[in-house]
Structure 1
Amino acid sequence: MAEREDIKYCTDIAPVEMGLFEGFEKRFFATPKKQGAETAEANINAAKAAATQIVSFFQTGDKKFQVNK
Structure 2
Amino acid sequence: TDLKYVTDVAPDNYAALKEKFGVRIFATPKKMGAQTAEANMNAGLAVARQIVDFFATGNTRFQVNK
Which sections of structure 2, spanning at least 5 residues, go unmatched? 1-5, 19-25
Residue 65 of structure 2 aligns with which residue? 68
Structure having the larger proportion of residues in helix: 2
Deviation beyond 6 Å, 4+ runs, structure 1? 17-21
Alignment partner of 2:48 out of 42, 46, 51: 51
Instruction: Report matched runs for 1:1-69 at 5 Å.
Output: 12-14=8-10, 16=12, 30-31=28-29, 33-69=30-66
Change (3 A) 1:51 1:15: closer
Letter in 1 for 2:58: G
The superposition leaves residues 24-52 of structure 1 with CA deviations (integer Å, 9 ceiling, x where unpaired) of xxxx8752x42323100000000100010
Unaligned runs of 5+ in 1: 1-9, 22-27
Bigger radius of gyration: 1
Q: TM-score, normalised by structure 2?
A: 0.56
The TM-score normalised by the length of structure 1 is: 0.54
Aligned-pair identity (%): 57
Number of residue pairs matched by the alignment? 53
